[in-house]
Amino acid sequence: MHPNAHSPRGAFIEGSLYNYKNHTNGNSWKTFAYRFTKHNPSSMRKEGIPDEKRRKTKICPANLCFMKIKVSRFITKKKVYIERYQDSPDHTHTIEESEKLKRSQFVRNLVEQEAIKNYLPPAIVNAIKEYAIEKLDLSSKKGNAVQKSTFIETLKASLGSILNAEEQ
């Protein structure tokens, strides 16, 4: 199970609000879907828009995990309860699989560790790619294409300012 699985912050984010109810007495409840539950399909890029004006987005696969939690707030009791939502299933992935799909903080930490060594940006990229191939098993296997592209996109975003400064 993911370490943040029972926290409304972390893996269950405000953008993943699934359902809610506000009662007249001030009490409320909200249901959050896990970040890998994606209800709407990804939109496609519009043609004819210059690269500098495009939003930097990535397409994530849909319906990887259906875990949901319910956060109940009781104003009069001054309590908050966090529980599994109805018959919500367990997580369908391990922590390692979760890290392979979503690792922005993980990649930032790797970049910081390599940047402290005063390496040039291309050397940082190569060191992190080597780490990804050896430690995260993101070699050029066909089944890891989504994870590898997600890792590379996160790496590019993390290194964006460094690489842009180097190119100028």
Task: Work out the pLDDT band at 89, boundaries 50, 70, 90.
Answer: confident
* Share above pLDDT 90 across residues of the chain, in percent, rounded to a whole number: 0
Would you say the pTM of this structure is higher than 0.75?
no
Identify whether residues 30 and 77 lie together within a single domain.
yes
Identify whether residues 78 and 138 lie together within a single domain.
no
> What's the total number of domains in the chain?
2
Query: What is the pLDDT of the chain when averaged over all its residues?
Result: 69
Identify whether residues 52 and 82 lie together within a single domain.
yes
* pLDDT at residue 128, rounded to an integer: 77
149 vs 97, more confident: 97
Q: Is residue 1 part of a domain?
A: no
Range of the domain at 26: 14-92
Identify whether residues 143 and 80 lie together within a single domain.
no
74 vs 32, more confident: 74
Of 68, 92, 116, the domain-final residue: 92
1 vs 159, more confident: 159
The candidate with the shortest Cα–Cα distance to 75, out of 22, 26, 138, is 26
Identify whether residues 22 and 83 lie together within a single domain.
yes
Identify whether residues 83 and 123 lie together within a single domain.
no
Sign for the pseudo-dihedral over CA of 135, 106, 111, 160: positive
